[in-house]
């Protein structure tokens, strides 16, 4: 996989993880969990818009918006007591921020494995992050088709 197909923010996040030893990678994941962006006020009272990512062990909900400039916005909720899952949601929310729909759809499906966390977290948790990315892409495709 080359950086040509990986958006700069996602490449930087990947490089940050790979530049650390395993225990420090978990610490970075915990830091990301504390940085999950808050929901905009317009969505706080509309849980009906959010899709549950059932592959995640913890209750994670996402909603994707594609604006008039074709820029994708990923909104996610995850409980604070589930820092791994919350960290994964935060990585995607931050890493995809500002990307166009085409750029989001071009993110490699194996991006979660690129972070070097496969020895630090369970395969089930990696599968959950892969599902977060997959559902995000599906919602982007649906928004494009509906426009």
The residues near 33 (Cβ < 8 Å, ≥ 6 apart) are 78, 80, 83, 84, 86, 87, 90
pLDDT in tens, 106-146: 999 999 999 999 888 888 889 999 999 999 999 999 999 99
Q: Looking at residue 120, what is its pLDDT?
A: 85
Confidence of residue 2 (pLDDT cuts 50, 70, 90): very low
Confidence of residue 147 (pLDDT cuts 50, 70, 90): confident
Q: Which two tokens stand for residue 57?
A: 């062990």
Full-model pTM: 0.92
């Amino acid at each position: 996989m080359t950086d040509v197909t990986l958006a700069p923010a996602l490449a930087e996040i990947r490089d940050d993880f790979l530049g650390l030893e395993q225990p420090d990678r978990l610490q970075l994941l915990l830091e990301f969990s504390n940085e999950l962006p808050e929901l905009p006020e317009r969505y706080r009272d509309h849980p009906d818009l959010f899709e549950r990512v059932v592959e995640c062990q913890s209750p994670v909900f996402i909603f994707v918006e594609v604006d008039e400039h074709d820029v994708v916005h990923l909104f996610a909720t995850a409980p604070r007591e589930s820092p791994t899952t919350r960290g994964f949601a935060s990585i995607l929310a931050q890493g995809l921020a500002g990307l166009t729909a085409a750029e989001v759809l071009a993110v490699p499906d194996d991006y979660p494995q690129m972070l070097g966390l496969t020895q630090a977290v369970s395969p089930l948790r990696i599968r959950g992050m892969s599902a977060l990315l997959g559902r995000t892409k599906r919602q982007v495709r649906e928004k494009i088709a509906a426009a």
